[in-house]
Structure 1
Amino acid sequence: MKFKILGSGAGIPSKSRNTQSYILDVVEELNQYFLIDASEALQHRIMSTTIRPAKIKHIFITHLHGDHIFGLPGFLSSRAHQGGEGVPLYIYAPAGLKEWVELTLRTSASHLNYPIHYIEVAHNMEFDADGFKVKSYLLDHAIESYLYVFIEPDKPGALKDEQLKRLGIQPGPFYKEIKQSDTFEFDGQIYNTSEFMNPPTEGRKVAVHGDTRVIQHPDYLDLVDGSDLIVHEATYLDGEGEKAHLYYHSEMSEVQKNFSSISYGKLIFSHISNRYDQEQINSISSTLPENMLLAYDFMEITIPRDSQ
């Protein structure tokens, strides 16, 4: 599993940062990608990668500000000609997105050759995305904005080969039958499969935020706790907490402080204002702990199992 940043900027693109779009790469797990937000020039960003648009089957929109959705109609139109014919697409978004997309496509005489299923998101909902559990949480922003938490299913443990061999069961097709059954019979005796299985490997957890103020509610912190990767906005990096709060955004040190009571693998600060030049970014980055990173366009993070 990998997390890829197609755009890491806030509000207005700059020469070095496009606005927010992310890819959760689950090709190894599901042979597809999850797209989170669709900023302007999304198609061009994808062309600079090896991502195949037809393999994007689930899109999660955090909120309806333009810097998070202006690239969506163009992407949808191009996907129709890039292997997407007949491949259903699911779009999860706050109320209003479906109306806007359909109006845009209709006005521009754009026609799709695949079905779109729109799922209207609300607070504390849970979705199934081809086996991944996805939870939504309403954030604190000027308009309705959401956190999406992606939870991979646990991976079943391997069979205890040596234990089976001691019974006289050698490796072969019967091992597959055992693994797929609650019980199995051998030499006239019935055994519980669980006694011959190693513990499952816990699925990975990725928490991706839309625009928001810092939230200290216990329910929110419990939801984010244990994430292998947290992606949180840090429109402000340099101590302007009051200004961030005024404009419904977050300041980096306040996010760090808020997460000091929970466990997580890596924390990426993104949605960074274009006020900061590269020299400032480098200076701030050098002060961060090893597991905290400032996002940049085309950054790629591998999320290993047991990454915490």
Structure 2
Amino acid sequence: MKFKVLGSGAGIPSRTRNTQSFVLDVVEEINQYFLIDASEALQHRILNTTIRPSKIKHVFITHLHGDHIFGLPGFLSSRAHQGGEGVPLVVYGPPGLKEWVEMTFKVSGSHLNYPIRFVEVFHNGEYDVEGFTVKSYLLDHAVDSFMYVFIEPDKLGALDSGKLKDIGIMPGPVYREIKNSHTFRHGEETYDTADFLSPPVKGRKVAVHGDTRIIDRADYLELLDGSDLIVHEATYLEGEQEKAHQYFHSEINGVLRNLSPISYGQLLFGHISNRYDAEMIQGVEERLGDRAVLAYDYLEITIPRDSR
């Protein structure tokens, strides 16, 4: 599992940062990508990667501000001619997203050659997406803005061949049959398969925020607790907490303090304002040390199992 940054900036693109778009790469797990937000120039960003649009079958939009959605109609249109013909797509997002896309297509005379379905998300929503559980949580922004939490299913533990040999079952194709069963028979006895498996491997959890003020509610922190990767906005890098709150955004040190009571693996800050120059960015990175990483375009983060 990998997390890929296609756009790390806030509001207005710069020469070095496009506005926000992310990809959760679950190709190894389910041969797909999950696209999170669709900023302007998304298509061009994808062209600079190995991502195949036809393998994006689920899109998650955090909120309807332009720097998060202006690339969506173009991506949908291009996907139709990049191996996506006949490949269904599901788009998750706040109320109004479906109407906006449909009106854009109607006015521009655009048509798709694959079925598309829109799912209107809500606070504390839960969705089954290709075996993953995806939860939506309403944040605190000037418009409805959501966090998406992607939870991978637990993986079965390994089969204990020693225990199977002890009861007289030697290695062979039967091992696969046993692992895929709840119980199995050998001789005159019925056995529970769970007794012959190591503990299950915990699924990974990735939480991706839309734009938001800092939230200190207990249910929010509980949902984030145990994440392997948290992606949070940092429109304001340092020392402007009041201004950040005024404009419905977050400041980096406030986020770090807010998340300090919970456990997580990696923390990635994105949605970085283009008013910060390279020297300022470097200074913040040095002060962060190993506590967090500032996103940059085309950054790729590997999310190992048991990274918490």
* TM band (smaller chain): over 0.9
Task: Determine helix, strand or coil for the equivalent of 1:261.
Answer: coil
SS at 2:287 equivalent:
coil
Paired with 1:34 and 1:286, the residues of 2 have a C-alpha distance of 31
**Percent of residue pairs bearing the same amino acid type:** 70
The match for 2:239 is 239
Structure 2: unaligned runs, 5 residues or longer: none
Report the counterpart of residue 175 of structure 1 in structure 2: 175
Structure-2 separation of matches of 1:20 and 1:279: 22
Q: Distance in 2 between matches of 1:166 and 1:77?
A: 59
- Using the alignment, how far apart are the partners of 2:192 and 2:122 within structure 1? 42
**TM-score (norm. length: structure 1):** 0.99
Amino acid in the other structure paired with 1:105: F
Provide Cα deviations, 1:240-281, integer angstroms capped at 9, x if missing partner: 000000000000000000000000000001000011011110
Distance 1:101 1:192 in 2: 51
Structure 2 residue aligned with 1:229: 229
Match of 2:10 in 1: 10
Paired residue type of 1:163: K
Matches within 5 A, 1:52-63: 52-63=52-63
User: Which amino acid letter does the alignment assign opposite residue 63 of structure 2?
Assistant: H
Post-superposition CA distance 1:115-173 (Å, at most 9, x none): 11100011000001100000000000000000000000000011101111121111111
**How is 1:142-221 mapped onto 2 (pairs within 5 angstroms)?**
142-221=142-221
Moved more, 291-300 or 135-144: 291-300
1:103 aligns with 2:103: yes
Could you tell me how far apart the structure 2 residues matched to 1:238 and 1:306 are?
A: 31
Cα separation, 2, equivalents of 1:95 and 1:123: 12
2:283 equivalent to 1:283 = yes
One-letter identity of the residue aligned with 2:92: Y
| Equivalent residues in 2 for 1:85-164, closer than 5 Å | 85-164=85-164
Cα distance in 2 for residues equivalent to 1:181 and 1:19: 47
Q: What does residue 248 of structure 2 align with?
A: 248
1:303 to 2:303 alignment: yes
The count of corresponding residues between Structure 1 and Structure 2 is 308
CA distance in 2, matches of 1:101, 1:189: 60
Tell me the equivalent position of 2:35: 35
Q: Tell me how far apart the structure 2 counterparts of residues 79 and 181 of structure 1 sit (CA, whole Å).
A: 40
Write the distance in 1 (CA, Å) between the matches of 2:289 and 2:162: 43
**Residue identity opposite 1:63 in structure 2:** H
The alignment's TM-score, normalised by the length of structure 2, stands at 0.99
- Tell me if structure 2 keeps the 8 A contact 1:3–1:22: yes
Q: Is the contact between residue 20 and residue 37 of structure 1 (CA under 8 Å) also seen in structure 2? A: yes
The letter of the residue matching 1:26 is V
* Native 8 Å contact 1:265 1:291 kept in 2: no
Q: How far apart are residue 290 of structure 1 and its match?
A: 1.2
Distance between the aligned counterparts of 1:235 and 1:277, measured in 2? 13
Amino acid corresponding to residue 137 of structure 1 in structure 2 = Y
Q: What letter is aligned with 1:292?
A: A
Query: SS at 1:107's partner residue?
Result: helix
- Could you tell me which runs of 5 or more consecutive residues in structure 1 were left unpaired when the two chains were aligned: none
How far residue 289 of structure 1 moved from its aligned partner, in angstroms, is 3.1
Runs of 4+ off more than 6 Å: none
